[in-house]
Amino acid sequence: MVKWLASLLRAWRSRRDRSAAQDGEPTWVPDSPSELIMAWQQARNTQSLGFILNQARLSKGLSLLQLQTGTGINATYLVKLEHNLVTQPSIFVLVQLAEALDLELTQVITRLDPRCYSQEDLLALERRWRLCLLAQPGNRNGILMLEAISLLWAQAEARAPR
């Protein structure tokens, strides 16, 4: 409850500061609790993976069906990703989306919660893609997957208690 109120207050302050800086007028004050909650949700969502994927897709002028056709990723799954409804997204899918939407891989992977992937899952995934690279040296997907996995490892190590 306390974390929720603190993040709500931060959202309100950031929106208030933004509106004051733009207009040069007095600071923004919400007219209702629902307006304050909407500001909090907007501030929270701008940091999410779904928001970044959605904005990249829209900036390229692609519909969900066009992105599905270009990547082979089901449009339903894309909708779930854009609305942050997938708790453990496929790393391979994220690598494909980063490529298709011209996003930096770090921009996508750093938005993930590394706690949703166990160390065993990451080790198995890393082994599989290393074997893929042994069989097909220079495979772009394999190189990108190993880069994504190493980014997740770095995130997990940074968050590990010492």
Residue 97 is part of a domain; what is its CATH number?
Answer: 1.10.260.40
Residue 138 lies in a domain: yes
Residue 152 lies in a domain: yes
Query: 98 and 61 share a domain?
Result: yes
Residue 41 lies in a domain: no
Task: Give the model's pLDDT for residue 61.
Answer: 93
Query: 131 and 87 share a domain?
Result: no
Query: 94 and 120 share a domain?
Result: no
Residue 9 lies in a domain: no
Query: 93 and 139 share a domain?
Result: no
Query: 59 and 73 share a domain?
Result: yes
Is residue 57 within 8 Å of residue 101, measured between CB atoms? yes
d(CA 61, CA 122): 34
d(CA 32, CA 15): 14
Tens-digit pLDDT string for the chain (162 aa) = 555 556 656 665 665 555 444 545 555 666 777 776 776 666 555 578 888 899 899 999 999 999 999 999 999 999 999 988 888 888 889 899 999 999 988 888 888 877 788 888 888 888 888 888 888 888 888 888 888 888 888 887 776 666
Where is the domain boundary, 93, 109, 125?
109
**Structural domain of 135:** 114-159
Task: Give the model's pLDDT for residue 62.
Answer: 92
Task: Give the model's pLDDT for residue 157.
Answer: 79
Give the pTM: 0.64
Query: 95 and 121 share a domain?
Result: no
Query: 105 and 121 share a domain?
Result: no
Where is the domain boundary, 109, 126, 147?
109
Cβ count near 33 (within 10 Å): 9
In the numeric block, which tokens belong to residue 72?
A: 């082979």
Residue 55 lies in a domain: yes
Query: 101 and 118 share a domain?
Result: no
Which residues, including other chains, have CB under 8 Å from residue 94's CB and lie 6 or more apart?
49, 108, 109, 112, 148
Look up residue 132 and give its amino acid: C
C-alpha separations of 125 from 61, 89, 117, 149, 159 in Å: 33, 14, 10, 8, 20
d(CA 43, CA 85): 18
d(CA 114, CA 122): 10
Residue 131 lies in a domain: yes
Where is the domain boundary, 85, 109, 133?
109
Query: 103 and 77 share a domain?
Result: yes
Cα angle value 66/69/70 (rounded, 5°): 85
Task: Give the model's pLDDT for residue 76.
Answer: 93
